[in-house]
Structure 1
Amino acid sequence: MKPTPTTAPPWTGSPYRRRRILWAFVVLTVGGIYYLSQYGAPSSSFLSLSESLKDWGYHFSPDSSRAGRVAQAKQDAHAGEGTATYADVREIDALLHFLTAHPERRLEEDGGSIRVEGLGSVVVDVEKPVDLRVYAPDGKNDWEAHTKRLREQYPLVVFSKTYCPYSQRAKTLLASYEIEPAPKIIELNVRSDGPQVQAILARLTGRNTVPNILLKGSSIGGSDDIHQMHEAHKLKRLFEEGGLTVKGAAAEA
């Protein structure tokens, strides 16, 4: 009597067959994890992935896991840096910081561009809002501290040209007021990027001529404007309301 043949377990047999079964199991497992990392599962389901497995799934889809969402958020924040990141900083204040804190730097110093830490060489388009990081080319983007320094040290800034008679007339009047802190004079014609700075000023203040006199980042006009306020006895009060000290006798005239 012949013995009854028995069916061999699936894990027995040739090594080739065992490898096929093993690889099929690996493929199914990886495919299942990827599917759940992409589409998830009901929170009550036993198929819900643990956080660690979801994080592993980030390598397939950045939106599928906590780690993926965090990484994506960091990328989005970096992409928006200089715009949304500094939404409460006015570009005019950033420009004034650049001009007063980096007097040796120029917007076109590198063959028509400027070298900015973390950005490389940047070509400035004066007709459009400038990435604020350009105005802090050393990479120090503490705008709260920069703005505070501007208000304390340079509350009054005069954009001028050395050969302009209107600029000279305005500077003479301001000097007679003996203001503290003294006005910061920026002579645009002695800067190689003067035309760029003047174009940015025109976009930000609405005034494209010099002198352009700024009190705490806001233009109060040019030579004729401050002379009219002087004659109306309004200029001293304007300066004092801006936090400046006026000592000159001309303020009382």
Structure 2
Amino acid sequence: MSLGPLRRSRTAVLGVIIFVLVLVFYVPWELPSSVKDRRIPGLSRANVAQLARDSKVKVDELYGLLRVVTSQDTGNTLTENPELDPSSPINWDVYAAGDSSVNWRKEVARLNKEYPVIVFSKTYCPYSKRAKQLLRTYKIRPPPKVIEVDTRSDGDVIKALLTRLTGHSTFPNVIIQGKSIGGSDNLHELHSSGNLEKLIKDTGAKVKKTPSNPAQ
């Protein structure tokens, strides 16, 4: 059998490999604007693979924030520094606190089960107190997770993130299985219409007592 075609095939493959190496290492190139707009600190060729992995995550970014604020590690906060821009999408590694083993789809399922109702509150806010009072009358199990934003060092970052991710910039901000239902007035409207109990039960949480009158 003639070795001519085989040699030509090997030469063609070698040529393609050389072309790719030259393109990657010697030809200037830029990341697409859609990637650069993510404004991830330290963006370089070295972490392009990380970005590719992140792009496959089809999870609402709000769950990243929920993971941080419900962490049992009280030191797990969103660092306030000039490189962290809460007005833009944040690298999932930040929400994972550097834990590359986090499976975000499993995290969503866990957070929905363990913390079906989460309230972002401020300790001195009368509207927050009113919302928490109403939720207490429902005797929800598992009980609502209350995040007192004003007692956290990353409170300003959390506020900015909530504004971007939920469109609700004031407190309280009531989250039911990853969806913001708004603040105290919205919560009481749902209660008065009789829809709040169903909304809570639909999460799988238990309501041990339905209040007969709205909390004022």
Q: TM-score by structure 2 length?
A: 0.76
Structure with bigger RCO (C-alpha 8 Å, 6+ apart): 2
Cross-structure match for 1:184: 145
- After superposition, what is the alpha-carbon deviation per residue over 1:174-229, rounded to whole angstroms, capped at 9, x for unaligned? 00000011100000000011011011001000000000000011011111111122
Map of 1:95 onto structure 2: 65
User: What amino acid is the match of 1:96?
Assistant: L
> CA offsets per residue over residues 78-118 of structure 1, 9 Å max, x none?
34333x131x1110011101111243222226xx27xxxxx
Q: Aligned residue for 1:245?
A: 206
Runs (5+) with no aligned partner, structure 1: 1-42, 64-73, 114-122
Change (3 A) 1:75 1:201: closer
- Identify which range, 130-139 or 177-186, moves more after superposition: 130-139
Task: Kindly indicate whether the alpha-carbon contact (under 8 Å) linking 1:159 and 1:187 is maintained by their aligned counterparts in 2.
Answer: yes
Give the corresponding residue for 2:78.
107
Instruction: Kindly state the Cα deviation for residue 151 of structure 1 after the two structures are TM-superposed.
Output: 1.0
Query: 1:138 matched to which residue of 2?
Result: 98
Q: 1:62-81, aligned counterparts within 5 Å?
A: 76-81=48-53
Alpha-carbon spacing, 1:60–1:247, altered in 2? closer, same or farther (3 Å): closer
Contact 2:68–2:78 under 8 Å retained in 1: no
When normalised by structure 1's length, the TM-score is: 0.66
Corresponding residue number in structure 2 for 1:20: none
Displacement after TM superposition at 1:55 (Å): 9.1
Structure 1 counterpart of 2:194, from 233, 240, 247: 233
Corresponding residue to 1:162 among 111, 123, 128? 123
Q: Residues 161 and 210 of structure 1 are in contact (CA less than 8 Å); yes or no, is this contact kept in structure 2?
A: yes
2:146 equivalent to 1:174: no
Please say which of residues 196-205 and 51-60 is displaced more in the overlay: 51-60
Indicate the percent of aligned positions where both proteins have the same amino acid.
37
RMSD, matched Cα: 2.8
Equivalent position to 1:222, from 183, 191, 205: 183
What one-letter code is carried by the residue in structure 2 that aligns with 1:220? I
d(CA) in 2 for partners of 1:178, 1:156: 12
Partners of 1:180 and 1:50 in 2: how far apart?
69
CA distance in 1, matches of 2:140, 2:12: 63
In the TM superposition, structure 1's runs of 4+ consecutive aligned residues that sit over 3 Å from their partners are 43-46, 50-63, 74-77
Structure index of larger Rg: 1
Change (3 A) 1:162 1:242: same
> Over residues 227-253 of structure 1, what are the superposed CA-to-partner deviations in whole Å (9 max), with x where a residue is unaligned?
122122121111112222111241688
* Number of aligned residues: 188
Letter in 2 for 1:163: Y
In 1, distance between residues paired with 2:84 and 2:129?
Answer: 30
Residue type of the alignment partner of 2:193:
A
Partners of 1:205 and 1:219 within 8 A in 2: yes
- Is the Cα contact below 8 Å between 1:158 and 1:186 reproduced in 2? yes
1:6-40 C-alpha deviation (Å, 9 max, x unpaired): xxxxxxxxxxxxxxxxxxxxxxxxxxxxxxxxxxx
User: Does 2:56 correspond to 1:85?
Assistant: yes
CA distance in 2: counterparts of 1:52 and 1:44, whole angstroms = 12
Report how far residue 144 of structure 1 moved.
1.9
C-alpha distance in 1 between matches for 2:126 and 2:47 = 51
Give 1:49's aligned amino acid. Answer: R
- Deviation (angstroms), 1:148: 1.5
